[in-house]
Structure 1
């Protein structure tokens, strides 16, 4: 099972990394960010479907829907002009929020083997949005937080033998680790 997850994640990483250096124009970066986002959405929905994990599909779809909806609402409330001056919908980055929601869902549901490559692709999408002159860095960072939070909060680990739970309080914070043998 881990091999299939790693192979699916690799199928996302290779096309995006091979396509990106070929074009350095803003249009090329915009196209690369579209491809990266679309591949991540496909992986977040495809990996659970291949395994018959319909709850994983529902959770991934829900996290991407919440991230996209939150991003849309913020774009309607905050009118920030894009760096290329094309419109006033720069904040936050929708490509980045949906990409990080997909990546965080894969990581939370299936572990770092699926999550690490997906998070690398999501990071690439964010960088590509800035290089495409569609967003400022803070737009991308906000999108990453929105997407990461929705993916993390709306997804349940598929294998619950090891559970990591972040916590915070007035005196500090940390991560609780629980293992079942």
Structure 2
């Protein structure tokens, strides 16, 4: 697993370096590469470990995120900042990236989750810098992906469960442990 995470880090570093000298197209390309690396990691880490439940949960997390995101794009058409179409809200790249990161985090802990969330945050930034989304589009995409990833994915060690919750009055995290 460490080798795979190092590979993701190297790929993300290469992707992160490109936008420094590039314009909107460079940001767009780098964000897409980082998103794709996270999706590969969400499926690849459990597959390499023979954790087929983890592979199925990653598929459910990413599939559910895509359904919600695409549904919202249809219900709430919003013109992109670059004017290319009416599919700005919410950011699909960001929701997918955060679903992959949340899946890795919830299944394998912060050691896998932290670098994945850093890369997912870069994807969100790249979407704004590429003029494909507004900040609000990215924040909603991040929330959709994170929530879906945590709701569908369980810990590889099922004795500990972490469940984020929220309502109109606030939010928090519920932690349960089985001894």
* Aligned match of 2:61: 63
Instruction: Indicate the residue corresponding to 2:13 in structure 1.
Output: 17
Q: Note the C-alpha offset of 1:158.
A: 0.4
What is the RMSD of the two structures over their aligned residues, measured on CA atoms? 2.0
TM-score by length of 1: 0.89
From 154, 158, 161, the equivalent of 1:160 is 158
Q: What runs of 5+ residues in structure 2 fail to find an aligned partner?
A: none
* TM-score, reference length from structure 2: 0.90
- CA distance in structure 2 between the partners assigned to 1:156 and 1:68 by the alignment: 19
The structural deviation recorded for 1:170 is: 8.9
Note the residue ranges of structure 1 that are not aligned, 5 or more in a row: none
Distance 1:27 1:154 in 2: 34
Moved more, 6-15 or 54-63: 6-15
2:109 aligns with 111
Q: What is the CA distance between 1:77 and its match in structure 2?
A: 1.2
Give distance in 2, aligned partners of 1:70 and 1:105.
16
Residue 18 of structure 2 contacts residue 30 of structure 2 at CA under 8 Å; is this kept in 1? no
Give SS of 2:161's match: strand
Q: Is the 8 A contact 1:109 1:156 kept in 2?
A: yes
Q: CA deviation at 1:176?
A: 4.2
| Cross-structure match for 1:97 | 95
Residue pair 1:108, 1:155 contacting (<8 A) in 2 also? yes
Number of aligned residues = 177
How many Å separate the matches in 2 of 1:137 and 1:168? 22
Q: Is 1:7 aligned to 2:3, yes or no? A: yes
Q: State how far apart, in whole Å, the 2-side matches of 1:166 and 1:77 are.
A: 26
Instruction: Using the TM superposition, give the Cα deviation of residue 168 of structure 1 relative to its aligned residue in structure 2, in angstroms.
Output: 5.8
Q: Secondary structure at the match of 1:163?
A: strand
CA distance 1:95–1:173, shift in 2 (3 Å) = closer
